[in-house]
Each structure stands twice: as C-alpha cells, then as structure tokens.
Amino acid sequence: MNLVRACPRRAQHQWKLRELWRINGLRGTHRQRERVEDRRWPGWEVVVGIEVHAQIKSRKKLFSGEWERSEARTTHTNDAPNTSVSCFDAALPGTLPTLNPKCVELAVRTALALNADVQRRSAFDRKHYFYPDLPSGYQITQRYAPLARGGYLRLSRDDFTVRITQLQLEQDTAKSTVHAGRRVSLIDLNRAGSGLMEIVSEPDMRSPEEAGDYVRTLQTLLRAVGSSDGSMELGSLRCDVNVSVNRYGQPPGTRCEIKNLNSIKFVMTAIASEVFRHIELLESGRTVTQETRGFDENKAETFKLRSKEDSPDYRYMPDPNLPPLLLSQEYIEHVRSSMPELPSETRVRLLSMGLSERDADVLMTIDAGREVGFDGEIGKGAIAMTQDLLGQLASRKETFSDNPVSVEHMGELIDMVQSGKVTGEFIGVSQYLWCPGTSGKTLLRHMISHRSLDYPSKLAKELGLIALSQDDSSLVKEWCLEAIKELPQQAEAVRKGNLPVLNRLVGKVMKLGRGRANAETVRTLLLELLREES
Ligand SMILES: Nc1ncnc2c1ncn2[C@@H]1O[C@H](COP(=O)(O)OP(=O)(O)OP(=O)(O)O)[C@@H](O)[C@H]1O
Ligand SMILES: [Mg+2]
Ligand SMILES: [Mg+2]
C-alpha cells in the first residue's frame, strides 16, 4: 500500500514539499519524484546532501600557470612520489600563484552542464589549518564567492532533479601515508595544488539509492564534458555525504557529515548505516549531535572523527595574492558554444536515430568508460564513432537499420582505438575532429563496405592496420622530419608558440604513415624536434 497517499498528514507534507520546490524556482520542467515510504525505516524521512570533490583533468595544476615551464603536472597515483611539485605547491617562500586558465575553462564547462549561473565575479579565500599534507598551512578555495551558483542535475532514472548549491575551485592537498609500525608519516606532494572542483548539492536526496544515482550521473557528466576522470578508485572523485533523518512532516534533523567516501557502494552503505544510527538514537530518546564522521569499510559503520564544537576555526580570509576572478559574458558564451554534447542529449539523439534503447545504452556505457583527455580534449568516444558510422552510412545512402556493424563489433573497435591497437585519436582542442586517414577509420569503412562479420581485431591484422608500436619510433621520427620539411611555414608558426597549427603537421605525419602512428606520440615528438631546432 502506498503509505504516503494513505496518510493525510503526509499528503499535506508532500504538498508542502512540492510547494517549496516550486518556490525555490527550478528552471526547466523537472518535477520532484513522488515519495513512497521506505520499508527499511517506516515513519522516517531521510535527507542527504553531497559535497563532491572532483579533480580537474588539466595538464598543469591550479596555480601553476598553463604555459609555465615547470614540471608540476597533475599526476596519477602510479607516478613516483614527489616528482611533480612546483616551488609554489611546496610553499617555498617568495612563490606566488598564477591561475591556470584551463582549470577555469573546465570548471565553467561543468557549471554550464549543471545548468548553474557562472558568476562574472568570483574570489579566492584561504582556509587555514595545520596538517602535514598542507605545506602552506592554508588551502586556497572559493567558499564565499564561488565560481558558479544554483543549478540542477537531472538523474538518469525517473524524472527527478537534484539542485546544485554551488561549484567552487580549490586546491587539492598532498597525500600522507601513515606507517604505524615504523611510526612515520610519509608525504607525497604530487597531488598538492592540483585543481579541484567542489560541487555542493542541496539536501534533495531521500535515500541511499538516490545518492548513488546522483554520484553516478555526475560522474558521467564530468567525463562527458571532459573536466574530470571522475574515477573514485583512483581518487579523482571523492564524496562527503551529509545525512539527517526526521519524522514525516517534521523539519529536517541534525546532519552528520561522512568524509571522503571513495566508491558509490560505500556512499550508499555509509548513508544506510548512518540512518540506522540516527533512528536508533532518536527512538531511544537521545539526540543526534552534529559531527564529522569517517566510514569503516570493514565494519560497514561510520565512526566519530570530531564534533561540531571541536571543528577547527579555519580563519577564512581573502587571498591577498589573487585578485578576484572576472569573467566576461563573451568568455562564458564562448565556453557555452564549444560545449560537447551532454549525456542526456546524446541519449535522445541516439534514440531518434532509430537505435533501440538497449543499443543506445550499450553505446553510452562504452562511451562513459572512455579515457578523458587532458585540458578538456574530448577523446574519440563511442558516441562520436557512432557519428562516423552514421556519416559513412549516409554517404552510402543507407540507414541505421541497414547498419551491418553490430554493437559488439563497434565496442571492440572502440576498445582497439582506446588501447592504441589501431589509431583514431582526436587532435586539437574542443572539437570532434577525427584525424583523417587514421587506421581506425579505414577499418570502420572496410567493416561497412564489405559487410564483414569478422571481429575488427582479426580484420585489422589481415589489412595491416595495426598501429605502429614504440619500436617503430625511428620510422615515426622520419615522417615527423619530413612533415617539418614539407610544411616550413606551419613549423615556424608552432616554434613561435601558435600551438593549434601543430595539428596541420600531425595530420601530415598521419598521412605519410597511412594513419598507423599514434597522434599523441607524433605531437610530442614534433614539439621536441621543433624545440631542438630552435
Ligand atoms: N539537514 C540536512 N541533512 C542532510 N544534508 C544537509 C542538511 N542540511 C544541509 N545539508 C547538506 O550539507 C552540505 C553542506 O555543505 P557545505 O560545503 O555548504 O558546508 P560544510 O560541510 O559545513 O563545510 P565544508 O565544506 O568545510 O565541509 C550540503 O551538501 C547540504 O545539502
Ligand atoms: Mg563543503
Ligand atoms: Mg562539508
């Protein structure tokens, strides 16, 4: 039985909620989902709000300016410790921050994808605390004047929306590893100073499942706009989850914040266990105190880290070394116009092309798993490859229903492009350009025109389209030198710093190598050669 409908007080509560929702003024036509009482905790309503920290996938860190010749790259977990640290990230005296425009662009893209208002003026604050993983003794963040405010994310399941409070830029901390046996703490500064986006949601979720759905949807969105890997395993997406419970019709209860959850499963388990803890406290006549808590993965329980009273005084102050960040309307519109397609739009488009729901979902899952490029370079994902497929079918005057390429074969082809077995890399920034003449494209053309039932891996071998390995680097170098010789004007432009022109040279090399070279390797090699010459 639907308890919510059966109880007049709850019906009134529902009405109130809906009213609130309307007053809060969601743009768009999204409705809040009809609430059905949860059998796990009858009589109780659960309220969840999430703060997501997503590492920005920029080549350089947040304050290591884009063109600065420093080695301070945004790193991966498998890099050797302390190998990618600029003087600023290590907080050496006398160093000053330079804002990396790529981080701003990616955060603006994310904010637009979340339907948020990008602020023309935002500002940076210092949040002070003392901990070995924070060399300067403060973190630069945007607590009071964030980059974007308001917004919403529509969850993939149902017609349900979570409102976004704000999106702010901030620095990541270093990483400390405690060796209890040796009684030492090891500090790795590689992560220190990397760009993070903190995305704060309104307390709009009502169950562990909705929270899981929210994080999953956000993850897909971040990957689609190319602003973050969104990988919880690798630590590029971490969640702080705020949970409270109240009796139906009562105001929200006291919230507890569970810090640093690194998988969707843990997000959901931590919420459920926290809900039971709150209910147990309240039903036995005690109260919930506002706390920051951790999550013990083995016991599937949360534990107290500190209470609200013990929470440090962060002594926020405006960062005197950073002026306010002013964005012109033209800049915001420019970013908007170069936005890649969002997952929700993609799905609608795929369905309208005549794909079945299942095929669209499979393609979207494959696409969501693709590698995210640095600085917003959108890789050649499944969806873009479908576009190629459709383009090629159209030029043969066939329709998608005549498509001879199965989703499985398409999936394998995409895997081969991604693992570098055949080439198909995208070059250039913010465009869906697939380099002409890549061997992946040739392979796709062959699959369509010959209506081949063979797996692409087999075909690639037969057709000699397997990408060149590292061992063939001398051959690639030869092509690069030839390209530089044949396009002297373009080479000169790149030497003078006009990097987009590099694509012309890369294209030339791809042509010379019949598409078997790896575009990224070619790019790096060309830059090295041009630098050596000058
Ligand atoms: N009653 C509530 N129940 C559950 N979540 C709540 C409740 N009230 C607020 N929240 C959520 O708590 C979060 C508050 O995050 P916010 O970043 O604003 O502050 P904070 O957690 O106090 O600060 P910090 O960033 O230092 O952790 C938001 O996601 C909000 O939706
Ligand atoms: Mg916060
Ligand atoms: Mg918080």
CA distance 425 to 510: 11
CA distance 199 to 240: 10
Residues 375-412 as b/e (b if ≥16 CB within 10 A, e otherwise) read bbbbbbbbbbbbbbbbebbeeeeeeeeebebebebbbb
Whether 166 contacts 202, CB under 8 Å: no
Residues pairing with 295 in the sheet: 302
Q: Which atom of ligand 1 is nearest to the CA of 244?
A: 3
Closest C-alpha residue for ligand 1 atom 24? 51
Residues with CB under 6 A from ligand 1: 47-51, 200-203, 240, 242-244, 252, 255, 257
Amino acid 466: pLDDT:
77
Amino acid 69: pLDDT:
52
Expressed in angstroms and rounded, the spacing between residue 318 Cα and the centre of ligand 2 is: 17
First-to-last alpha carbon distance for the chain, in angstroms, is 77
Q: 3-state DSSP call for residue 138? A: strand
Expressed in angstroms and rounded, the spacing between residue 241 Cα and the centre of ligand 2 is: 10
Amino acid 28: pLDDT:
37
Expressed in angstroms and rounded, the spacing between residue 313 Cα and the centre of ligand 3 is: 14
For 307, the enclosing helix (H) or strand (E) is strand 301-307
Expressed in angstroms and rounded, the spacing between residue 268 Cα and the centre of ligand 1 is: 17
ipTM above 0.90, yes or no: yes
Amino acid 110: pLDDT:
98
Name the token pair of 290: 């506002």
CA distance 378 to 365: 16
Residue (of 243, 330, 198, 337) closest to 41 by Cα position: 243
CA distance 202 to 49: 6
Name the token pair of 489: 């004007």
Dihedral sign (CA 232, 235, 237, 238): positive
Residue appearing with tokens 């999106």: 167
In sequence order, what DSSP letters do the residues of 331-381 get, joined into one string?
HHHHHHHTPPPPHHHHHHHHHHTT--HHHHHHHHHHHHTSPPPGGGPPP--
Domain boundaries defined on the chain: 37-326, 338-533
Name the token pair of 224: 């689609």
Pocket test for ligand 1, best of 131, 171, 200 (most atoms within 8 A of CB): 200
E-assigned strand segments in 79-160 = 117-118, 121-122, 125-128, 138-141, 148-149, 152-154
Q: Torsion-angle region of residue 249: left (phi > 0), alpha (psi -120 to 50) or beta?
A: left
Q: Which atom of ligand 1 is nearest to the CA of 201?
A: 29
Expressed in angstroms and rounded, the spacing between residue 200 Cα and the centre of ligand 2 is: 6
pLDDT in tens, the chain (534 residues): 333 333 444 444 444 444 444 434 443 334 455 667 888 999 999 999 999 999 999 989 999 754 445 556 776 666 788 888 888 988 999 889 999 999 999 999 999 999 999 999 999 999 999 998 999 999 999 999 999 999 999 986 666 899 999 999 999 999 998 888 888 889 999 999 999 999 999 999 999 999 999 999 999 999 999 999 999 998 999 999 999 999 998 999 999 999 999 999 999 999 999 999 999 999 999 999 999 999 999 999 999 999 988 888 999 999 999 999 999 999 999 999 988 888 888 888 778 777 777 777 777 777 777 778 888 876 666 777 777 777 777 777 777 667 778 877 887 887 787 777 777 654 333 233 344 456 777 888 888 888 888 888 888 888 777 776 655 778 888 989 999 999 999 999 988 888 888 888 888 888 887 777 777 788 888 999 988 876
Using one digit for the tens of pLDDT, what is the confidence trace for 8-53?
A: 444 444 444 444 444 344 433 344 556 678 889 999 999 999 999 9
Whether 178 contacts 187, CB under 8 Å: no
Indicate the angle between helix axes 357-368 and 407-418, nearest 10 degrees. 10
Q: Torsion-angle region of residue 70: left (phi > 0), alpha (psi -120 to 50) or beta?
A: beta
Q: Which atom of ligand 1 is nearest to the CA of 242?
A: 5
For 187, the enclosing helix (H) or strand (E) is strand 184-188
Residues pairing with 90 in the sheet: none
Name the token pair of 512: 């010379």
Q: Are strands 237-247 and 117-118 parallel, antiparallel or unpaired?
A: unpaired
Residues pairing with 200 in the sheet: 51, 166
